Amino acid sequence: MIIKTIKAIPSHEITDEQVFIQRRTLIKSLLAATLVGNSRTLFAQNKAAAWPSIAQSELSTSTLSPTPAKLVKEYTNYYEFSYNKEESTSLAQALDVDPWSIEISGEVENPSKFHLEDILSKQTLEERIYRFRCVEAWSMVVPWVGFPLVNVLNMAKPLSSARFVKFTTAQKPDVMPNLRNESILQWPYTEGLRIDEATHPLTLLAVGMYGERLPKQNGAPLRLIVPWKYGFKSAKAIVKIELLKTAPLTSWNKSAPNEYGFYANVNPSVPHPRWSQNSERLLGSGFFSPRRQTELFNGYGQQVARLYSDMDLRHFF
């Protein structure tokens, strides 16, 4: 994956003028947001003090070609709206994402509700091109725009008792018709990470993709991206982040614990009980293209395998 600050995207990497124009517009609008308020922040100091960092060279390992944006925007899983991909894409347009605030609570010194613009005003936005692997055995490559989750956790000053992080997402019954249906999932949609996963430099809070603000159907205004885990971990439209002493129950784990584990690290040798996870259909690669061989940790093993060195990967999900 490639990591760059949004200011550093060279124009020669942008193939299409329209995309270039959109990206410039995004840079302007997102940077306008980041300039609100006082940009001299405690992040840089806290980040270095509180969590281990990773060399920038370790974050830039390969060049990936993004999946066509249209596919990523239209092939979405957003179950609060519908279990049907096309329907969830169109219904999600009714979600009002401005203004937005995020509560951070639990094992922290400074539990607070933050306005999204206050969070953004303290961030340097980066573009990160990550592989994204769904547990349904399809994959894509997405240029996300965002910032490390650890930056936001540090705003609330985590206590050393914080071992896990729980994410709770928006629940708006007036615009999310599928909230009435609890036959598969119970609402709100929740997810969780271990604290070392949450503070890993690859773990991102995305506010944009393809040089634009995040589309509503892809999780606007703010979603989690954990590139070495199956896509269901990447909670959309986050409203609450809790730091906890014990592992939280997550939506899919609660719904079908034998099929969806808490860790959900991409692992070709651990099949889903109903299908193999050995290979994947890369969206946009053409109907007759060969399937892509799925990689352990979705190809990010060099960066994250050390987090799991004492666990038996054969039975690990």
Q: Which amino acid type is present at position 144?
A: W
> Could you say whether residue 232 binds ligand MTE (CB under 6 A)?
yes
Q: Which of residues 261-300 bind ligand MTE (CB under 6 A)?
A: none
Among 234, 265, 267, 294, binds ligand MTE (CB under 6 A): 234
**If binding is defined by CB under 6 A, does position 236 make contact with ligand MTE?**
yes
Residue 210 backbone zone (phi > 0: left; psi -120 to 50: alpha; other: beta): left
- In the complex with ligand MTE, the residue whose CB is nearer, 6 or 226, is 226
Nearer to ligand MTE, 58 or 259 (CB): 259
From 25-33, 234-242, 269-277, 298-306, span contacting ligand MTE (CB under 6 A): 234-242
128 CB-side CA count, 13 A: 23
- Reduced to 3 states, what is the DSSP secondary structure of residue 181? coil
# binding residues, ligand MTE (CB under 6 A): 16
Range in contact with ligand MTE (rule: CB under 6 A) among 73-81, 120-128, 242-250, 260-268: 73-81
> Binding to ligand MTE (CB under 6 A): which residues in 147-166?
none
Minimum CB–partner distance for residue 270 and ligand MTE (Å): 17
Q: Using the minimum distance from each CB to ligand MTE, give the nearer residue, 34 or 82.
A: 82
Helix ranges, the chain (H)? 17-34, 43-50, 56-59, 69-74, 85-91, 116-120, 149-155, 195-198, 251-255, 301-304
Given the complex with ligand MTE, which of 134 and 241 has the nearer CB atom? 134
Contact indicator for 294, 284 with CB cutoff of 8 Å: no
Closer Cβ to ligand MTE, 169 or 298, answer by number: 169
Q: How open is the CA angle 4-299-150, to the nearest 5 degrees?
A: 50
- Report how far residue 112's alpha carbon sits from residue 21's, in angstroms, rounded to the nearest whole number: 37
Chosen residue from 91, 235, 270, 304 binding ligand MTE by CB under 6 A: 235
What is the 3-state secondary structure of 107-121?
CECCCEEEEHHHHHC
Show the tokens assigned to 117: 């613009």
Q: Is 92 in the site for ligand MTE (CB under 6 A)?
A: no
Q: Could you say whether residue 82 binds ligand MTE (CB under 6 A)?
A: no
Nearer to ligand MTE among residue 206 and residue 304 (C-beta): 206
Q: How far is the CB of 273 from ligand MTE (least distance, A)?
A: 17
Q: Which is nearer to ligand MTE, 45 or 171 (CB)?
A: 171
Cβ within 8 Å of residue 113, ≥6 positions away: 101, 102, 103, 104
Q: Which window, 8-16, 23-31, 196-204, 232-240, contacts ligand MTE (CB under 6 A)?
A: 232-240
**Rg, Å, the chain Cα set:** 19
Distance, CA of 146 to CA of 106 (rounded, Å): 24
Is the four-CA dihedral 146, 148, 149, 153 of positive or negative sign? negative
3-state percent breakdown (helix, strand, coil) of the chain, nearest 5: 30, 25, 45
Binding mask 182-221 for ligand MTE (x = CB under 6 A): -------x----------------------------xx--
**Interface contacts to ligand MTE, rule CB under 6 A:** 76-80, 134, 169, 189, 218-219, 231-232, 234-237
